């Protein structure tokens, strides 16, 4: 594999933003794909680990993963400030490479998505997998804000010729234990995701994104953990996360081919 440095002027300063771009050495004439995976803290545990490993095992792909705890779509497109999380992960690699261990987590800053996507401007067969939404503020204004920013993200990635796949939040015990709150929050978040994607397509038919509903294909163990995140240290949590990842991967297999 090769590393080259791409530099782009930022619109908020005259400084250049220099982003290292990984180039994979694939046989000429063979189709290859570029896959970007963005996630909140659900990508830090066994679910994200399983998904990242699966991506690297595919033939002729370059995969880049950004997982930043506490983020919703806004933190990736906010032009005024970058979100810094004490727990995050960034890694990229070509087919056959092994992701860095998820236990080596540290402080990570969200890239500014419009600038970041320019790094892939000259490439084709581009996919972006987005797993954001669980951190929406749980009130009507928060859900509306999520919806608006989903529309912005879908239009943005489509303008950069990425095929978009959005993974919705899974079942979580902390939400499920309060049935009234759970029903409202799950429904409101998924409604925001669905309408946000629809509004992007309504304003621009080329702006499309496939939403995967994680609710019917995930469960959260009755014991252990914080009720939100799947623990790397508990076998039942790793199993639940693996089941969720396996179901997601089944759908990704068809969407990425």
Task: Give 17's pLDDT tier (boundaries 50, 70, 90).
Answer: very low
**pLDDT of the residue at 253:** 94
Q: Which of 113-117, 150-154, 178-182, 248-252 has the weakest average pLDDT? A: 178-182
Burial (Cβ within 10 Å: 0-12, 13-18, ≥19) of residue 26: middle
Q: Where are the alpha helices (DSSP H) in 20-172?
A: 46-57, 74-77, 113-118, 140-159
Tokens of 37: 């995976």
Contact of 239 with 231, CB cutoff 8 Å: no
pTM recorded for the entire structure? 0.89
Q: Which of 9-23, 95-109, 210-224, 237-251 has the weakest average pLDDT? A: 9-23
Contact of 17 with 9, CB cutoff 8 Å: yes
- The H or E element that residue 93 is part of is strand 84-94
User: Helix axis angle, 235-255 relative to 46-57, nearest 10°?
Assistant: 40
**203: nearest Cα among 241, 250, 158, 233:** 158
Q: Is the pLDDT of residue 102 over 70?
A: no
**pLDDT of the residue at 176:** 81
In angstroms, the CA 94 to CA 1 distance is 7
Give the CATH number of domain 34-255. Answer: 3.40.50.1110
Provide CB contacts within 8 A for 92, sequence distance 6+.
22, 62, 63, 64, 65
**pLDDT of the residue at 19:** 52
Task: Give 3's pLDDT tier (boundaries 50, 70, 90).
Answer: very low
In angstroms, the CA 215 to CA 233 distance is 23
pLDDT digits (tens, 9 = 90+) for 46-77: 999 999 999 999 989 999 999 999 999 999 99
Q: Is the pLDDT of residue 135 over 70?
A: yes
């Amino acid at each position: 594999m090769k590393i080259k440095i791409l530099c782009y002027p930022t619109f908020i300063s005259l400084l250049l933003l220099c982003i290292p771009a990984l180039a994979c050495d694939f046989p000429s004439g063979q189709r290859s794909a570029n896959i970007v995976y963005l996630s909140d803290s659900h990508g830090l545990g066994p679910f994200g680990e399983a998904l990242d490993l699966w991506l690297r095992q595919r033939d002729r792909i370059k995969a880049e993963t950004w997982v930043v705890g506490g983020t919703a779509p806004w933190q990736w497109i906010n032009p005024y400030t970058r979100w810094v999380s004490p727990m995050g992960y960034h890694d990229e690699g070509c087919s056959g490479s092994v992701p860095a261990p998820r236990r080596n987590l540290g402080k990570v800053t969200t890239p500014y998505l419009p600038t970041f996507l320019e790094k892939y401007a000259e490439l084709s067969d581009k996919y972006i997998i987005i797993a954001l939404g669980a951190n929406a503020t749980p009130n009507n204004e928060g859900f509306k804000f999520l919806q608006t920013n989903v529309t912005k993200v879908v239009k943005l990635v489509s303008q950069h010729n990425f095929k978009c796949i959005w993974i919705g939040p899974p079942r979580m015990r902390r939400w499920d234990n309060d049935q009234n709150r759970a029903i409202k929050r799950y429904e409101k978040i998924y409604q925001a995701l669905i309408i946000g994607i629809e509004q992007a397509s309504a304003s621009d038919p080329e702006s499309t994104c496939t939403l995967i509903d994680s609710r019917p294909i995930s469960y959260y163990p009755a014991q252990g953990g914080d009720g939100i995140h799947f623990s790397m240290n508990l076998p039942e949590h790793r199993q639940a996360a693996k089941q969720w990842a396996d179901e997601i991967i089944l759908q990704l297999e068809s969407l990425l081919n």
